[in-house]
Amino acid sequence: MIELKNVTKVYKMGNELIYALKNINLKIKEGEFVSIMGPSGSGKSTLLNIIGCLDRPTEGEVYIDKIKTNDLDDDELTKIRRDKIGFVFQQFNLIPLLTALENVELPLIFKYKNSMSEAERKRRALECLKMAELDEKFANHKPNQLSGGQQQRVAIARAIVNDPKIILADEPTGALDSKTGRKIMELLKKLNGYGKTIVVVTHDINVSKYGDRIIYIKDGSIEREENVS
């Protein structure tokens, strides 16, 4: 499903080169739930951004669903991202002026433009809010009228509305208290049970344990891996 071969990412800061990732080799199978653990600055976000086709490696190869993404142009990368990947972020990244339901509808608008009716769009968005276990009574609330946990549920509904095979989550519990964080991780686990491949980046050992496999990253390199039983 996801494969990285000898991936290196170098950032240039003036005259200084920052090796954010060094020679990463990684395979994630369809239906796996993988946690990427490491301290701040170890390269986790960079790794997730490369898997998510938001960024390109300096060296090495990236395969998503058997497609080698290195050779693709920006439009083709955008299409892979839109069709195959859902993103969840620490700060939810919802649009404040739109309601919960409208936020979830957005990816459908980008993908289908006017070829999907508004009624069908609303039906699908509501279905995803339901799957994300947000009570229907909040569908017309704006993000600032929702708790952090509720906002993350909206963000997860938005991530799944195009039915992607892969969900990538960057510190999905980072802005939540630990009880709410656990509920959000249980929701990701449920989606994994429905067949989604899930990759979660975290610096929190308790969060990482929801994965079937934990990959420890340090200074841009994979330090070790651990299977969670």
Q: How far is the CB of 223 from ligand ADP (least distance, A)?
A: 13
CA distance 49 to 180: 25
User: Is 45 among the residues that bind ligand ADP (CB under 6 A)?
Assistant: yes
Q: Of 44 and 121, which has the nearer Cβ to ligand ADP?
A: 44
CA distance 94 to 103: 7
Concatenated DSSP letters of 105-117: HHHHHHHHGGGS-
Q: Of 40 and 229, which has the nearer Cβ to ligand ADP?
A: 40
The total of other beta-carbon atoms located within 10 Å of residue 180's CB is 17
CA distance 48 to 85: 11
Which positions ≥6 away from 142 have C-beta within 8 Å?
A: 96, 97, 98, 99, 100
33, 37, 38, 187: which one binds ligand ADP (CB under 6 A):
38
User: Is 35 among the residues that bind ligand ADP (CB under 6 A)?
Assistant: no
11, 79, 83, 130: which one binds ligand ADP (CB under 6 A):
11
CA atoms within 13 A on the CB side of 107: 26
2, 24, 26, 43: which one binds ligand ADP (CB under 6 A):
43
Q: Of 21 and 28, which has the nearer Cβ to ligand ADP?
A: 21
User: Is 46 among the residues that bind ligand ADP (CB under 6 A)?
Assistant: yes
Going from the C-alpha of 21 to that of each of 169, 179, 191, the distances in angstroms are 19, 32, 29
Q: Of 3 and 170, which has the nearer Cβ to ligand ADP?
A: 170
Q: Of 42 and 69, which has the nearer Cβ to ligand ADP?
A: 42
Q: How far is the CB of 203 from ligand ADP (least distance, A)?
A: 7
Q: What is the CA radius of gyration of the chain?
A: 18
6, 17, 18, 76: which one binds ligand ADP (CB under 6 A):
18
Site residues, ligand ADP (CB under 6 A): 11, 13, 18, 20, 38, 40-46, 170-171
